[in-house]
Chains A and B, each alone.
Chain A
Amino acid sequence: MERLSVMKKLPPLLVWGLPVASGVLFVALWYGVRAVSGLQSWILPTPLEILQAAWREHTRLLAAAGHTAVGALGGFTLAAALGFVTSLVLGVSRSLRAGLYPWLLVLQMTPVIVLTPVIMLWAGPGLPGIITITWLISYFPIVANMTQGLLSSDMNHVALFRMANASRLQEMLLLRVPSAMPYYLAGLRIAATLAPIGAIFGEYMAGNASGGTGGLGFLVYSYNTQIKIPALFATALTSCLLGFMFVAAVSWLNWLVLHKWHDSFERNDH
């Protein structure tokens, strides 16, 4: 990737130093705004107040993050599995693709917020509804990427398979699916950033805090109505960390699947 190679040319000190510097600058600006404006903590908490709130609320935040992770993982897994299968169906034939793809677009274009009441009615409140919402949000990028991947096999390889009289199934499973893996994983990576957001949104729209603890979306309600704004920021921080964990997990999966053969990973074996 081009951006990565640019980063590589920077001395390591700058690679680490620049974000730290911009971070410090941002925090300084934050304190400055707070000091000049005279805003109270419940309007603009300082980073320290947010960290203090995070510490004070850490049991609640961790339990909520666990709750959200379950919803996010459920929706993500469902999207990954159904996305894979859907793409195979779409990749098999041009007419299936022509017949179904527009409807997938319709599904993608429909705002989930409009579907929420119906999802609540059909899937039920709490986890089933949250997983459905997360699935809806993270499904499409996987399908779009994977389908594109299945159609992007090297034409020379396809010609080779056809010359050897390989069946359509063989062509699909032995050639197209493996060569579509980088696309699939790229789709998963997008989905991984969307899944925690989807789950929090789901909790905010469809959660019921069953089992004694709600997820991060529930805490948004709770802290908001109780005007615990520093804790609300701490919730944002926690959500952000959860998002990074999801992306890190998929990046690791990406490395696991691709590092042995794909060009995007440089090998040190020569």
Chain B
Amino acid sequence: MVISVAGCGRKTESAPALTPALAKIRFQTDWFPEPEHGGYYQALAKGYYATEGLDVEILPGGPNAQVMSSVAVGRADLGMTNGDDVIVAVARGVPIKMVAAEMQRDAQGILFHTAHPVRDLRDLKGRTVMAGSGSTWLEVVRKKLGVEFNQVPLVGDLARFMNNPGFVQQCFVTNEPFFARQRGADVGVLLIASDTYEPYRVMFTGNEFLARHPDVVGKFVRASLRGWADYLTGDPAPGNKLLAARRNDLPPEFMAYSIKAMNEYKLVSGDPAKGEFTGQLTAARLEKQIRLLQEVGVLDKAVAVSDVATFEFIPKGQ
């Protein structure tokens, strides 16, 4: 439910004390709480949302979280997921739009044993790969790079990987390598995103919500990006504390690893040399992604960039 904050008018000084009631916002994440959602929890913990006049509830996701459908039917106001998925959903008629990037590059990677390295996606040739059925990158590797490999369905555990030195498996560069190494495996990881295929992770909202509450969306994006910057470059303790309270099975060393990986791969900040910055979405890159999705057969019809994203909330480049 949303209580409009129209009374606030244009902000000159952020003064939350003057706001009569905070606008209630439900934000749907795509998985159980984890450091990959850290920026949002940091924004919540440090009061960045409250400063913007928002009372944000972060809804935990999980298997079959149906993030996009939840937002489309109004069970949540905003959500986050892979940018590709939003493009495909929009093409199928789901009324949602990206409003900002969460990560300039998706954190998906290939986990391998260093004895049998994967330096490039072409190295997957002839190998057995455990990967999420229907993942776009599989089609890209097959159709765009012409690389054939055996695929086995991803079940989210590392048992088979740990047992078989030739095995490779889809992972998050921010996640599985930590646990595999903890169990003594000598593993490496390759980020799937490359110049050919570089999906964003994005924040998105429903078209109806966007039309009715553009101000709220803008505030949410601003506070979330502030949270992300602070989580990754400042002290992540406040966000981690919230995460730990919601999920008591994540060791602190894992959270530290995850944050380090997000920084190392510049997942959130992007590459300044390429003119990228936190939150940025560009029409050119989305256009390129749409064309790629069509080319590999994931999209059966074209979709306009203006239908999948709005750029009005993207901060001006630093």
Contacts and interface: CB of A to CB of B under 8 A. Distances in A.
A267 B63 CA distance: 51
Interface string A202-229: 0011111110111000110110111101
Interface on chain B toward A: helix, strand, loop, or mixed SS? loop
A147 to B, nearest CB: 32
Contact of B62 (A60, A209, A213, A227): A209
A121 B179 CA distance: 32
Interface residues of A, number: 29
Contacts of A209: 32-33, 60, 62, 246-247
Contacts of A30: none
Given A225-B179, A227-B180, A208 B59 contact: yes
Contacts of A42: 159, 162, 183
Contact of B64 (A60, A117, A226): A117
B65 A43 contact: no
Contact of A227 (B65, B66, B162, B249): B162
A125 interface: yes
Contact of A225 (B59, B66, B75, B175): B175
B235 interface: no
Contacts of A222: 32, 249
Interface in B60-83: 60-66, 69-70, 73, 75
A120 interface: yes
29 contacts: A43-B163, A60-B249, A116-B64, A120-B64, A121-B70, A125-B59, A125-B62, A125-B65, A126-B60, A126-B62, A204-B63, A206-B63, A206-B64, A207-B63, A209-B33, A209-B247, A210-B60, A213-B248, A214-B247, A218-B62, A221-B63, A221-B156, A222-B32, A222-B249, A224-B156, A224-B158, A226-B179, A227-B158, A227-B162
Interface of A: 42-43, 60, 116-117, 120-121, 124-126, 204-210, 212-214, 218-219, 221-222, 224-227, 229
Given A208-B59, A208-B61, A209-B62, 12 more contacts: A42-B159, A42-B183, A43-B159, A120-B64, A125-B62, A208-B32, A209-B32, A209-B60, A212-B247, A222-B249, A224-B158, A229-B159
